[in-house]
């Protein structure tokens, strides 16, 4: 594979060997591999999304009830490649459009936690079966969080917020305009997330090259490892693609898959900057409840995956 050859040549030309050579090889190879996947997937999905702008998403979700609305919100969340903070403007728009509260919470939880690019990258890290479990689990966490908070009446803690009007009479763009829009969106998203990918791969490379396997297996296994992974993951702000290389290295060193997936999901779905932004539209009671139900769902998923995988 060309990326493997580039990484090998780079390490050879630099005269590196041992742990440092392994680290640099991992960093170069995974950065190139993930970036290539991102470019292809984000451009393709970006083109498809020109047929489903935010205004259409809101119109699809308006008036939806029960299971149909929850499932649709989860699926729309998957094809929205945003981090936890950049999901919030769409969440605000959904609330402002009158979309039912539980459905908007489902979108808010699923969108940063699962996206189509992650579903392309993950099979090479944990396999197709675990990737499918990850996707199903994320949808389950998002839908159950939305349903539970709605049933418990937490919609009363939504703040009054000026959302502004959206023009629904949008001219249908030509194919060329769609391609240009998809290209520009791809450039914007790649530019935004590449630093996270580079840093994430760098951390993963350091773990791969320098952290002994015994350290991982002796300190991060068992049920407490899942709790620790979620506790460490929540304060970190990045997107799911930035943390995949770290999880790849940790799993390669012996970290249980469920613990790795729980860490990845908590990093992507919950963050301190997200909570700060949500204060514009949510009262503290709702923010605390949202964080609690999502984190609890992720904990249960991690424990379950460790038990069955």
Tens digits of per-residue pLDDT, 135-172? Answer: 999 999 999 999 999 999 999 998 765 544 444 444 57
Residue 177 lies in a domain: no
Q: In which domain, by residue range, is 116 found?
A: 2-159+196-308
Number of domains in the chain: 1
pLDDT digits (tens, 9 = 90+) for 114-138: 877 778 888 887 888 888 988 999 9
Residue 47 lies in a domain: yes
Residue 187 lies in a domain: no
Residue 8 lies in a domain: yes
Residue 141 lies in a domain: yes
Residue 180 lies in a domain: no
Residue 151 lies in a domain: yes
Supply the pLDDT for residue 45.
66
Instruction: Report helix, strand or coil for 158.
Output: strand
Beta bridge partners, 158, equal 282
DSSP string, 175-241: HHHHHHHHHHHHHHHHHHHHHHHHHHHHHHHHHHHHS-HHHHHHHS-SHHHHHHHHHHHTT----HH
Predicted TM-score (pTM) of the model is 0.71
Distance CA 140, CA 160 (A): 29
Residue 172 lies in a domain: no
pLDDT digits (tens, 9 = 90+) for 242-255: 788 888 888 888 88
């Amino acid at each position: 594979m060309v990326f493997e050859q580039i990484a090998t040549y780079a390490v050879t030309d630099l005269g590196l060997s041992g742990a440092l050579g392994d680290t640099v090889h991992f960093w170069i190879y995974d950065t190139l591999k993930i970036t290539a996947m991102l470019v292809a997937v984000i451009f393709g999905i970006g083109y498809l999304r020109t047929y489903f702008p935010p205004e259409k998403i809101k119109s699809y979700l308006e008036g939806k009830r029960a299971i149909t609305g929850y499932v649709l919100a989860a699926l729309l969340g998957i094809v929205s490649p945003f981090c936890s903070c950049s999901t919030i403007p769409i969440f605000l728009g959904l609330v402002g459009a009158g979309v039912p509260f539980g459905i908007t919470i489902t979108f808010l939880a699923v969108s940063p936690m699962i996206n189509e690019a992650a579903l392309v990258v993950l099979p090479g890290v944990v396999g197709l079966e675990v990737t499918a479990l990850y996707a199903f689990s994320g949808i389950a966490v998002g839908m159950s969080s939305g349903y539970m908070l709605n049933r418990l009446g937490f919609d009363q803690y939504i703040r009054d917020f000026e959302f502004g009007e959206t023009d629904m009479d949008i001219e249908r763009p030509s194919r060329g305009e769609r391609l240009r829009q998809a290209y520009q969106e791809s450039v914007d998203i790649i530019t935004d997330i590449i630093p996270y990918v580079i840093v994430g791969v760098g951390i993963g490379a350091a773990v791969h090259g320098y952290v002994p396997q015994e350290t991982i297996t002796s300190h991060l296994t068992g049920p407490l490892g899942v709790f620790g992974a979620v506790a460490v993951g929540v304060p970190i702000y990045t997107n799911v693609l930035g943390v995949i290389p770290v999880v790849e290295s940790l799993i390669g060193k012996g970290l249980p898959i469920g613990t790795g997936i729980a860490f990845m999901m908590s990093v992507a779905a919950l963050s301190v900057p997200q909570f700060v932004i949500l204060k514009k539209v949510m009262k503290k009671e709702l923010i605390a409840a949202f964080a609690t139900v999502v984190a609890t769902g992720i904990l249960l998923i991690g424990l379950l995956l460790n038990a069955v995988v």
